[in-house]
Amino acid sequence: MMPHLDDQTLSDLLDDALDAPARSTAEQHLASCDACASRVQRLRTVVAQAAALPRTMPTPAGEWQSIRARIGSGGSAVLHAPWWTRRGALLAAGLALVIASSGLTLLFVSGGRDVAMQPTSPAVTPAALTPRLAALEHEYATVTRDLERELAERKHTLSPETIAAVERSLHTIETAIAEARDALARDPGSETLARLLVAGHDQKVELLRHATRLATQS
Amino acid sequence: MSLTGSIVRGPSPAVADESAELARRAQHGDVAAFERLYRAHAGHVRALCIRLCADGQRAEEFAQDAWVRVWERLSTWRGEAAFSTWLHRLTVNVVLESFRAERRRLARVTLAGDEDDADAAIPAPEPGDALDLERAIARLPRGARTVFVLHDVEGYRHSEIATMTGLAEGTLRAQLCRARRLLMEMLDR
């Protein structure tokens, strides 16, 4: 007797996500196993109930008024944008990022990193730190990929000077990120280096977000 | 053929046409048209936000953020996709961006500490606690809930959810399976 089908197989079967041989095997099993047939039917019921849920829910009182207040009097949203999203401010922010990132780079070069940034958490082993960082870097990669794609689509709305400033800042930040990553490869247990790497990613996300917002409003 | 279907359910053609016309007027700064768009679609945006985040207060914030972003980015809607499709995708992005930022903050805090995530805050159902589906969805761990809502409630395809969430398809299929299994268990109690 073939063992019962696992839930992943049953779930994939519902979604037509099994290849033909696996599907055939599963269907043959279901035809002769009441327990699995019952389980897949219960899963199917859950899925059907989910698809039948109401499409809408009542909105809170006053929601439109709050939105209306936030979008302003109907003019361009640029008029109501925070100061840091405006063109001149971006140049200043870009410059600040260059300086800040250069500062990070200098920390590596000078070997002063342990003085500059004290870890606030207990030390960990490289084995514990590495997978968390890898997961975190994956998150950043997802965010920056989306922002970069969005910025690329709208880049033409920005002035050449703004684009150049953004690109210079990005280059500096990416250099700092690469250096932090290299240093971590040599010293994988360093929480200080891990925090520097994360700080670099934060700066990149913030810069891309501001540049994208500017491009959207131009 | 998929047994569950995977087509995002949208409004009727007449509603879609009216929304497209309103969106074009709103693109030119017509706030009255934007308000009519809001009235037509706010209920779905609300449902999407509350099911994704399982928190009424946060859902209210997400919905407002989504509508403000819609206003800011209306110029980028070119009518290639239905307005409602664009709106719902943008709403999902607003919520998921916040989740990602939260995970990054959490990861920074716990970089050297015990593994922890937002899922850990979800209380386990009490024995014998029968739940309706909405309440059961709200009790799912966040990752499983997100994939379940997008796939089984909203009708997005695996590939679309992979793009939105950044998850590998294998991972999201595992999350979907986990969500269905947990819901089945909660509803069977």
Going by pLDDT thresholds of 50, 70 and 90, the confidence category of residue B180 is very high
Nearest to B137 by CA among B147, B128, B127: B147
Q: Which helix (H) or strand (E) holds B76?
A: none
State the amino acid at position B161 in one-letter form: I
Nearest to A2 by CA among A44, A35, A40: A35
* Residue carrying structure tokens 């805090």: B109
Q: What is the pLDDT of residue B151?
A: 97
The shortest CB-CB distance from B100 to any of A17, A143, A195 is to A143
Per domain, the residue ranges of chain A are 7-51, 82-217
Per domain, the residue ranges of chain B are 11-116, 118-189
| B54 touches B145 (CB < 8 A) | yes
What is the rounded CA–CA span in Å between residue B114 and residue A47? 35
**For testing the chain A interface, which of B161, B177, B178, B188 should be mutated: the one with the most A CBs within 10 Å?**
B177
Which tokens hold the place of B38? 């809001």
State the distance between the two ends of chain A, measured CA to CA, in whole angstroms: 67
Tell me the CATH class for B118-189. Answer: mainly alpha
What is the rounded CA–CA span in Å between residue B103 and residue B95? 12
| B36 touches B67 (CB < 8 A) | no
Indicate left, alpha or beta for B29 from its phi (over 0: left) and psi (-120 to 50: alpha). left
Indicate left, alpha or beta for B164 from its phi (over 0: left) and psi (-120 to 50: alpha). alpha
Domain B11-116 part of CATH 3.40.50.150: no
Helix B56-73 × helix B31-53 angle, to 10°: 140
Which tokens hold the place of A91? 């140049």
Kindly report the backbone phi and psi dihedral angles of residue A82, in degrees, each rounded to the nearest multiple of 5, phi listed first: -60, 155
| B148 touches B133 (CB < 8 A) | no
pLDDT, one tens digit for every residue, chain A (218 residues): 678 999 999 999 999 999 999 999 999 999 999 999 999 999 999 999 999 999 999 999 899 999 999 987 444 333 333 333 333 344 334 434 443 444 333 333 333 333 233 333 334 455 556 776 777 787 778 778 878 887 888 788 888 888 888 888 888 888 888 888 888 888 877 777 887 888 888 888 888 887 877 776 66
**For testing the chain A interface, which of B68, B95, B134 should be mutated: the one with the most A CBs within 10 Å?**
B68
Interface of B with A in 35-54 (CB under 8 A): 35, 38-39, 42-44, 46-47, 50
CB contact under 8 A, A11 and B38: no
What is the rounded CA–CA span in Å between residue A60 and residue A62? 6
ipTM score assigned to the predicted complex? 0.82
Q: Where are the alpha helices (DSSP H) in chain A?
A: 7-14, 20-32, 34-51, 63-71, 87-110, 113-116, 126-154, 160-186, 191-217
